[in-house]
């Protein structure tokens, strides 16, 4: 007896009828979504490339034009372009296919490398950034660029939390600390900003949700993906009016 072919016959499976047609459309829609997810990083990269000359020409024009009103408008274009560029970087990281190449490096070295970023926070926002690094933490397998984005995103959230709190900016403080926690390397980032209510805390992982006027609602989604890529775990301690502590744990690998 000849064997029946195992090849699916779409016309047989999806006989005419609303339920079958809806199911077929759902499957086809999912396949299109999968394709979209794969091409999105390239789309974000190309969009950022289009932004680069806009930012460059804006800077050149600002140097040549003496009219203060026009210069302020050009500075606004440049600032908005930079923010859009950063958002595209975050989206590209979030939808990136694959988990990247890990390199054995010490978490402290990544934090130290971000010193200029922390200095900019203090200079531009008048917020003090304290660094407390445990010299005893071992090297770990990290995707360097992703950990840098992780720290920056949490710090930028902390800046907004402080600026939206009823306090003077110079009273704001962010602490970045590394330590050993049993068989894990711990990274904690603490701020004395506005903090969060329990109901807000439950929403912060929703796409495009943000409590801040300038928030994109993408940053924490990227953070969650990066932590997952490293097999890590996290915990958030937050109290309204008292600030937030973001704790991240990476299991020590030999």
Render each residue's pLDDT in the chain as its tens digit; 254 residues.
Answer: 444 444 444 444 445 555 555 555 555 554 554 545 555 666 777 777 788 888 888 888 888 888 888 888 888 888 888 877 777 776 666 566 545 678 899 999 999 999 989 998 998 888 999 999 999 999 999 988 889 889 998 998 888 888 877 766 568 899 999 999 989 999 999 999 888 777 666 666 665 556 655 555 556 777 888 888 888 999 988 888 888 999 999 998 75
In this structure, the answer to whether residues 62 and 162 fall within a common structural domain is no
Domain that holds residue 140: 103-251
In this structure, the answer to whether residues 56 and 168 fall within a common structural domain is no
Given a contact cutoff of 8 angstroms between Cβ atoms, the answer to whether 40 and 90 are in contact is no
Return the DSSP state at 246. E
Given a contact cutoff of 8 angstroms between Cβ atoms, the answer to whether 162 and 127 are in contact is yes
Q: Which residues contact 34 (CB under 8 A, 6 or more apart)?
A: none
Does 2 reside within a domain?
A: no
**CA 174, CA 118: separation in Å to the nearest integer?**
10
In this structure, the answer to whether residues 79 and 168 fall within a common structural domain is no
DSSP for 73-141 reads HHHHHHHHHHHHHHHHHHHHHHH-SS----EEE-HHHHHHHTHHHHHHHHHHH--EEEEE--TTPPPEE
Half-sphere exposure of 253 (CA within 13 A, CB side): 12
In this structure, the answer to whether residues 187 and 82 fall within a common structural domain is no
Count helices and strands in the chain by DSSP H and E runs: 8, 7
Tokens of 106: 């010490």
Does 3 reside within a domain?
A: no
**What total number of domains does the chain contain?**
2
In this structure, the answer to whether residues 115 and 235 fall within a common structural domain is yes
Tokens of 193: 């900003």
Choose the final residue of a domain: 61, 79, 95.
Answer: 95
**CA 8, CA 26: separation in Å to the nearest integer?**
17
Choose the final residue of a domain: 95, 126, 161.
Answer: 95
Report the b/e string of 110-140 with b at 16+ CB within 10 A. Answer: bbeebeeebeebeeebebbbeeebeeebeeb
């Amino acid at each position: 007896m000849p064997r029946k072919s195992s090849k699916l016959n779409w016309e047989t499976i999806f006989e005419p009828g609303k339920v079958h047609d809806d199911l077929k459309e759902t499957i086809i829609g999912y396949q299109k979504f999968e394709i979209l997810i794969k091409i999105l990083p390239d789309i974000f990269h190309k969009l950022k490339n289009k932004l680069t000359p806009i930012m460059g020409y804006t800077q050149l024009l600002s140097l040549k034009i003496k009219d203060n009103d026009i210069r302020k408008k050009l500075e606004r274009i440049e600032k908005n372009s930079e923010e859009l560029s950063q958002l595209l970087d975050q989206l590209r990281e979030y939808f990136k296919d694959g988990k990247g190449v890990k390199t054995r490096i010490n978490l402290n070295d990544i934090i130290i490398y971000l010193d200029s970023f922390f200095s900019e926070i203090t200079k531009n926002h008048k917020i003090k950034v304290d660094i407390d690094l445990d010299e005893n933490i071992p090297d770990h397998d990290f995707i360097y660029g992703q950990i840098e984005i992780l720290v920056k995103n949490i710090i930028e959230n902390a800046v907004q939390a402080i600026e939206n709190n009823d306090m003077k900016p110079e009273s704001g403080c962010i602490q970045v600390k590394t330590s050993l926690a049993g068989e894990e390397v711990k990274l904690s980032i603490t701020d004395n900003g506005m903090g969060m209510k329990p109901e807000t805390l439950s929403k912060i992982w929703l796409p495009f949700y943000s409590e801040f006027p300038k928030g994109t609602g993408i940053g924490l989604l990227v953070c969650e993906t990066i932590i997952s890529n490293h097999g890590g775990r996290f915990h958030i301690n937050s109290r309204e009016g008292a600030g937030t502590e973001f704790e991240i744990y990476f299991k020590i690998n030999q």
